[in-house]
Structures are given as structure tokens and as C-alpha cells.
């Protein structure tokens, strides 16, 4: 059942449905509620596709996706308009934005965003296909504004380009949208300003893993990339220092120096590991002496004896040395 203006006001008055504007552009039920819908305005933040930085998008390339997530301007050009400013949309161009109003749906309603007829007759559509709003959704709805005309169109922020319609559900869903672990656009986890998080889709992740042979989840990959980048920075500094010390500048010298550095680094690592193994054995032997003596002193109750403190400090020092050597051997730093 589709809600009428009477139903919409009832849900708003009861606090079951919430439509919230910002401080300067509050939601106005009197002006925005229509007989069977609610007029919804667009934000003042827009994103245009930036073809200069990216020529092609591979939807299963998760590394490219993460780069775009960390720096959206690799793929998009962000435009923020003030009151009275306009954005020009070229023929066939798509611009991403989101609703000015935040929408909080009750569990008994679903919704859909539709384009307004006045703007549709000007060749302006507000979305590609993603108009559906789940029961329990909380957040801003993304919009994909497209100019279908053969001429440029000027667009202004805070225009009522869309209308929101509601549908009553005859039974309460047994699934809570906000609590779904794989919900891509859960309002508690993201604020996209209208951008896509397609790479969080489980089907995309599965397809990428199947094709690329990926073995790690996103969190693990991020950790590994951080460790690798830190190691690379240290290595680059060491190599630069080596080149400066030997005054190496020519390409043929660099190639030989890199090979020499690699061999020397391998030898140095082997020597360090050997030294640490020796230190571990010596420290272990010392512990086999200190621990029995320390137990003997404690059992005699002679903790005021200077030997007790000597053995105790020596034991702590040996444990500290072992911790350092084991950390190096097993982690490699």
C-alpha cells in the first residue's frame, strides 16, 4: 500500500518516520509534503567523473578501488556550491550527489526516490536505477543526476529535484537493515556524499578473489601494505646513504651497487641471526645458573642478602635479552 499525505503526516507526527534537513534548510512538511509523496532536495556537494586521472575502471580491481576510497579525487572532481552558484552539466554527463534531507525509515515502511515530472520534461533524471530505500534505513540517499538533453544544463544546490514515496509493509521484516554485517551503506559505517562503495559488495569481493587469487581480507591486506611500505622506506634510506657514501651516480654504477648491496645485506642478516642465536644460548646457560640460586636464596628467606638482588637483576636482564633476540629472529626486524 502506498502512503498518502495523511499517512505520511501521521508517521512523522508519531516520530516513526524522520526527514531531517540541515540548520539553514530545515525540512518543511507544509511546503514539501504532496498528496502521495514528499519533495526532496539535493545537496550542495557534487562529484564529477575525472577522466584525466583514470581512463578505465575495473570493478573487480580492489587495489584500484582502495586507492579511490583513500583519495576520491583520483576518479572524481569534487564541487561544493554556495547559495546562488550553479553547476553546468554537459549533454550525456552524470553527476553524483545525495539528498539534503537525512531519511530515517521505520521497519514497517520502505520507500523509493522518483524524479519530479517538471525536471523529467527537461531531460533531467535523478538516478540510474538505485531508487529503493530499505525498511530501517538511516542516512542520505545517493543521486545520479544525468543530462539527457543535447544542450548543457545549469544545476543549482538545494533544488527539489526528487520526490520520495512510501510503501507500507503488512508484516515486520525479520531482518534489521542497520544490523546486517554486509550492509554496504549502513549509516553507522560510512558517509559517502553520494559516491559508490561497489567494492564492498560481497559478490565483487568473491569475483575478485576467484579471478586474482586473492587470499586476504581487506583489513589484513591493509596491514601488510603498511608493513611493506614502512620496510621500503627504511630500505630506500639505507640505499641512498650507501650511494652517497660511495659517490655512485652513473646508471651502470647503480646496477652493480644494488647487486653488491643485496649480497651484503643477505650476509649481514645471516651474521646478525648467528650472533643472536649465540646470545640466546649464552643467556639460556646463565639463566640455568641464576634461577636455581635465586630459588635457594628465596627458600632460605634471605631476601636482604645482596646476592638476592644480584640474581634478580641478572634474571630480569637475561629475560630482556631473550625477548629482544626472539623478536628479531621470528619477526625479522
For 205-233, the DSSP string reads HHHHHHHH---S-HHHHHHHHHHHHHHHH
Instruction: Indicate if 130 and 140 belong to the same structural domain.
Output: yes
Is-contact 74 97, C-beta < 8 A?
A: no
Q: What is the pLDDT of residue 179?
A: 67
Is-contact 120 181, C-beta < 8 A?
A: no
Query: Could you tell me which residues come within 8 angstroms of residue 11 by beta carbon, excluding any fewer than 6 positions away?
Result: 3, 17, 106, 109, 166
Q: What is the pLDDT of residue 40?
A: 96
Instruction: Indicate if 151 and 256 belong to the same structural domain.
Output: no
Instruction: Indicate if 195 and 158 belong to the same structural domain.
Output: yes
Q: What is the pLDDT of residue 222?
A: 57
DSSP secondary structure letter of residue 101 = S
Instruction: Indicate if 275 and 242 belong to the same structural domain.
Output: no
User: For the chain, what is the domain count?
Assistant: 3
Cα 269 from Cα 90, distance rounded (Å):
60
Count of CB atoms within 10 A of residue 313's CB? 11
Is-contact 147 206, C-beta < 8 A?
A: no
* Closest C-alpha among 180, 183, 205 to residue 65: 205
Query: Is 326 in a helix, a strand, or coil?
Result: helix
**pLDDT tens over the chain, length 333 residues:** 899 999 999 999 999 999 999 999 999 999 999 999 999 999 999 988 887 777 777 766 767 777 777 777 778 888 999 888 899 999 999 999 999 999 999 999 999 999 998 999 999 998 876 788 999 888 899 899 999 999 999 999 999 999 999 999 988 888 776 666 555 555 544 455 556 665 555 555 565 555 555 544 555 555 555 555 555 556 666 666 766 777 766 655 666 666 676 677 677 777 777 777 777 777 777 777 777 777 777 777 766 767 777 767 777 777 777 776 665 544 443
pTM for this entry: 0.56
Q: Give the C-alpha distances (Å, rounded to integers) separating 278 from 43, 271, 272, 274, 326.
A: 67, 11, 10, 6, 12
Instruction: Indicate if 171 and 293 belong to the same structural domain.
Output: no
Q: What is the pLDDT of residue 232?
A: 54
Instruction: Indicate if 238 and 321 belong to the same structural domain.
Output: no
Instruction: Indicate if 162 and 185 belong to the same structural domain.
Output: yes
Query: Is 333 in a helix, a strand, or coil?
Result: coil
Instruction: Indicate if 91 and 237 belong to the same structural domain.
Output: no
Cα 55 from Cα 50, distance rounded (Å):
9
Instruction: Indicate if 23 and 163 belong to the same structural domain.
Output: yes
H or E element: which one contains 98? strand 94-98
Q: Domain of 168: which CATH number?
A: 2.70.40.10
Instruction: Indicate if 168 and 227 belong to the same structural domain.
Output: no
* Closest C-alpha among 281, 264, 269, 285 to residue 328: 269
Choosing from 156, 188, 208, the residue where a domain stops is 208
Note down the domain range covering 263. Answer: 248-331
Cα 43 from Cα 145, distance rounded (Å):
12
Instruction: Indicate if 189 and 253 belong to the same structural domain.
Output: no
Cα 305 from Cα 104, distance rounded (Å):
72
The angle that helices 306-331 and 251-299 make with each other, rounded to 10 degrees, is 150
Instruction: Indicate if 113 and 152 belong to the same structural domain.
Output: yes
Sheet holding 102-104, edge to edge: 18-20, 102-104, 138-139
Amino acid at each position: 500500500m502506498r502512503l498518502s499525505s495523511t499517512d505520511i503526516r501521521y508517521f512523522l507526527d508519531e516520530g516513526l518516520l524522520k526527514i531531517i534537513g540541515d540548520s539553514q534548510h530545515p525540512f518543511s512538511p507544509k511546503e514539501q509534503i504532496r498528496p502521495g509523496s514528499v519533495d526532496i532536495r539535493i545537496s550542495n556537494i557534487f562529484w564529477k567523473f575525472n577522466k584525466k586521472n583514470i581512463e578505465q575502471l575495473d570493478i573487480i580491481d580492489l587495489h584500484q578501488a582502495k586507492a579511490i576510497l583513500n583519495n576520491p579525487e583520483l576518479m572524481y572532481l569534487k564541487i561544493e556550491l554556495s547559495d546562488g552558484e550553479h553547476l553546468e552539466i554537459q549533454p550525456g554527463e552524470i553527476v553524483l550527489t545525495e539528498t539534503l534531507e537525512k531519511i530515517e525509515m521505520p521497519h514497517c515502511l520502505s520507500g523509493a526516490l522518483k524524479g519530479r515530472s517538471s525536471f523529467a520534461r527537461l531531460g533531467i533524471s535523478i538516478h540510474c536505477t538505485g531508487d529503493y530505500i530499505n525498511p530501517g534505513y538511516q542516512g542520505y540517499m545517493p543521486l545520479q543526476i544525468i543530462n539527457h538533453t543535447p544542450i548543457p544544463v545549469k544545476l543549482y544546490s538545494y533544488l527539489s529535484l526528487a520526490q520520495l514515496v512510501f510503501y507500507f509493509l503488512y508484516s515486520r521484516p525479520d531482518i534489521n537493515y542497520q544490523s546486517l554485517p554486509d550492509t554496504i551503506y549502513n549509516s553507522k559505517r560510512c558517509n559517502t556524499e553520494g559516491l559508490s562503495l561497489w567494492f564492498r559488495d560481497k559478490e565483487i569481493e568473491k569475483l575478485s578473489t576467484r579471478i586474482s587469487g586473492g587470499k586476504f581480507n581487506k583489513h589484513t591486506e591493509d596491514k601488510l601494505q603498511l608493513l611493506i611500505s614502512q620496510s621500503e622506506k627504511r630500505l630506500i634510506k639505507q640505499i641512498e646513504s650507501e650511494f652517497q657514501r660511495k659517490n655512485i651516480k652513473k646508471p651502470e654504477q647503480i646496477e652493480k651497487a644494488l647487486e653488491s648491496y643485496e649480497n651484503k645485506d643477505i650476509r649481514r642478516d645471516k651474521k646478525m641471526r648467528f650472533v643472536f642465536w649465540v646470545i640466546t644460548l649464552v643467556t639460556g646457560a646463565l639463566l640455568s645458573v641464576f634461577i636455581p640460586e635465586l630459588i635457594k636464596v628465596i627458600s632460605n628467606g634471605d631476601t636482604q642478602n645482596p646476592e638476592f638482588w644480584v640474581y634478580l637483576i641478572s634474571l630480569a636482564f637475561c629475560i630482556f635479552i631473550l625477548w629482544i633476540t626472539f623478536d628479531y629472529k621470528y619477526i625479522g626486524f
